[in-house]
Amino acid sequence: MSTPAAATTPAATTPATTTPATNTPTSSTLASFRLDGSRALVTGASRGIGRAVALALAEAGADLVLSARTSEALKSTVEQVAEFGRTVIAVPGDLGEPGRAGQVVDQAAEALGGLDVVVHNAGVLPSQPDGSPILLPLQHLPQPDWESVISVNLNATAALCRHAHPYLAASRSPSLVLMSSVAGVIGTPMMESYAASKAAQISLARSLAAGWARQGIRVNALCPGWTRTDMTAFAHHNGPLSDWLLAHVPLGRWATPEEIAAAALFLASPASAYLTGQTLLVDGGVSVPDGGLAGIPKPPSPFAPA
């Protein structure tokens, strides 16, 4: 006579004891936005969008070299980044000076032991000696003012990319973000030099993305729309001009630097690992034909003859 088997509870009636971790993916979507251990260079980091980008990358875990024209201008951003407990080093330099863009890249790589992320944000408008922008149609803009913009916004960009290439090629997760502008994809009267240089950055990003892809280097252009910064104070502090600009923005408001920085973090991080050669417009819809507001009355242009 056989010994009865020990009584067992049918599997179907066993109370569920599975913990949530059993069905949790091994990596989360949010984790893909982290930059822990990444070495990043941010140019134009003293204020506005550049400062916001630096803080976003630091919060995501990156160590940083920050560049702007002077050490004094970078002091506040350096202090804020340090509050995240990240390594942060200031490398000042006027990118309009011949050779300085390449020197900034080399010094950044030396300070951090390499580079994984470069966000090139530095850029200029034609300006008066006091820093106020020169808004003139092309036919009235002096050639030296045109050349000063092209020197910083295009020539320095090319030099920076050229020098960054070997460091990015040696990285396991390289990303180059060129801060272009919506001005590079829409008609921007009175700002032709700036718009042309920003359009050139978009083209450069696309060409580099194709040329460097097999080395794993991702290159993208980020195009902010009208963003409330010191550079745009001439517009957002001018009621009629601000109203006219925003009348062409479907979302009807200025962007904040932090909104642009969030997009920069996306492009810099593994969250965008399959994204290269793209132009990311963070513009409230202004690049939609006619600002997305065809048929809606707009205030007269402040530039129209009286």
Q: Give the pLDDT band of residue 287 (cuts 50, 70, 90).
A: very high
pLDDT of 167? 98
Q: Give the pLDDT band of residue 292 (cuts 50, 70, 90).
A: low
Catalytic entry in 45, 115, 164, 194 = 194
Distance separating alpha carbons of residues 162 and 35, to the nearest angstrom: 24
Q: Are 236 and 242 in contact (CB under 8 A)?
A: yes
Helix axes 71-82, 48-59, angle to 10 degrees: 30
What pairs with residue 279 in β-bridges? 221
Q: Are 274 and 264 in contact (CB under 8 A)?
A: no
- Over residues 157-186, the pLDDT tens digits come to 999 999 999 999 999 999 999 999 999 999
pLDDT of 295? 62
Distance separating alpha carbons of residues 172 and 39, to the nearest angstrom: 11
Q: Give the pLDDT band of residue 1 (cuts 50, 70, 90).
A: very low
Q: Is 194 a catalytic residue?
A: yes
Largest pairwise CA distance in the chain = 113
End-to-end Cα, the chain, rounded Å: 113
Phi-psi map region of 187: left, alpha, beta (phi>0 left; psi -120 to 50 alpha): beta
* pLDDT at position 98 over 50: yes
pTM: 0.87
Angle, alpha carbons 41-115-45 (nearest 5°): 0
Distance separating alpha carbons of residues 13 and 158, to the nearest angstrom: 68
Half-sphere exposure of 51 (CA within 13 A, CB side): 15
* pLDDT at position 15 over 60: no
DSSP, collapsed to helix, strand or coil, labels residue 45 as coil
pLDDT of 24? 43
Distance separating alpha carbons of residues 188 and 205, to the nearest angstrom: 21
For 140, the token pair is: 């009235």
Domain ranges of the chain: 34-292
Lowest mean pLDDT among 137-151, 175-189, 222-236: 222-236
DSSP, collapsed to helix, strand or coil, labels residue 64 as strand
Q: Residue 97 carries which DSSP code?
A: S
Distance separating alpha carbons of residues 113 and 58, to the nearest angstrom: 17
Domain spanning 34-292, CATH class: alpha beta
pLDDT of 171? 98
Distance separating alpha carbons of residues 149 and 195, to the nearest angstrom: 10
Show Cβ contacts of residue 154 under 8 Å, excluding neighbours closer than 6 positions.
Answer: 197, 200, 201, 204
Residue with tokens 């963070």: 282
pLDDT of 194? 96
pLDDT of 68? 97
Q: Residue 105 carries which DSSP code?
A: H
Q: Give the pLDDT band of residue 301 (cuts 50, 70, 90).
A: confident
Q: Which of residues 118 and 228 earns the better pLDDT score?
A: 118
